[in-house]
């Protein structure tokens, strides 16, 4: 007499085996999700130009064409402004109030979303609770690029 295994017997698991399988599946899904998230961050960093290292060790932050005259852009942890044509300046994107990252450059000012501080395009305080100007970041123009100095 031979043992016959029916289909339901093949798929029957004890409770411990089922829990272990669930844990392994959850771990695998988490690993895949984290891996995908990292790739998205790298792609975003590459897209915004903040991670493009150059042969001389400087970093390309932006193309000059990306920075509007009378405005600016935020690239990674650097704010790049162009108050007048060709006058580029760089600043830390860390607000001098309580350390939030400034969120946007619009209407001729750099704005912090946390408590409403505003900074002029030269980094000086334009309003809000910030006690001092944004820290400067040395930048220079090379060709059509703005690079860290
Ligand atoms: Fe920017 Fe408070 S941290 S206004």
Q: What is the mean pLDDT of the chain?
A: 77
Cβ < 6 A, ligand 1 pocket = 95, 97-100, 112, 114-117, 128-130
Confidence of residue 37 (pLDDT cuts 50, 70, 90): very low
* Contacts of the segment 48-55: beta carbons below 8 A, 24+ positions apart: 48/75, 48/76, 49/75, 50/75, 50/76, 50/77, 50/78, 51/76, 54/147
Where helices occur in 49-129 by DSSP H, the ranges are none
Closest CA to 100 of 85, 110, 88: 110
pTM of the model: 0.67
Task: Compute the distance between CA of residue 107 and CA of residue 102 in angstroms, rounded to an integer.
Answer: 14
Q: How many whole angstroms from 128 Cα to the centroid of ligand 1?
A: 8
Q: How many whole angstroms from 84 Cα to the centroid of ligand 1?
A: 26
Q: How many whole angstroms from 24 Cα to the centroid of ligand 1?
A: 43
What is the best residue among 109, 112, 134 to mutate for testing ligand 1's pocket, by most ligand atoms within 8 Å of CB?
Answer: 112
**Using H for helix, E for strand and C for coil, what is the string for 63-79?**
EHHHCCCCEEEEECCEE
Q: Which atom of ligand 1 is nearest to the CA of 117?
A: 4
Residue 40 has pLDDT above 90, yes or no: no
Task: Compute the distance between CA of residue 86 and CA of residue 37 in angstroms, rounded to an integer.
Answer: 37
pLDDT in tens, 70-95: 999 999 999 999 999 999 999 999 99
Question: CB–CB of 134/92 below 8 Å?
Answer: yes
């Amino acid at each position: 007499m031979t043992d016959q295994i029916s289909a339901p017997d093949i798929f029957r698991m004890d409770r411990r085996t089922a829990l272990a399988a669930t844990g392994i599946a959850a771990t695998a899904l988490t690993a895949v999700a984290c891996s995908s998230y990292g790739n998205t961050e790298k792609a975003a960093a590459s897209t915004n130009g903040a991670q493009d290292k150059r042969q001389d060790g400087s970093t390309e932050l932006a193309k000059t064409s990306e920075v509007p005259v009378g405005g600016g852009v935020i690239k990674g942890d650097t704010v790049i402004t162009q108050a007048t044509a060709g006058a580029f300046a760089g600043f830390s994107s860390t607000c001098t109030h309580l350390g939030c990252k400034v969120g946007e450059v619009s209407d001729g000012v750099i704005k912090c979303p946390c408590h409403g501080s505003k900074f002029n395009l030269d980094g000086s305080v334009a309003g809000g609770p910030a006690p001092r100007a944004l820290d400067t970041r040395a930048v220079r123009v090379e060709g059509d690029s703005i690079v860290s100095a």
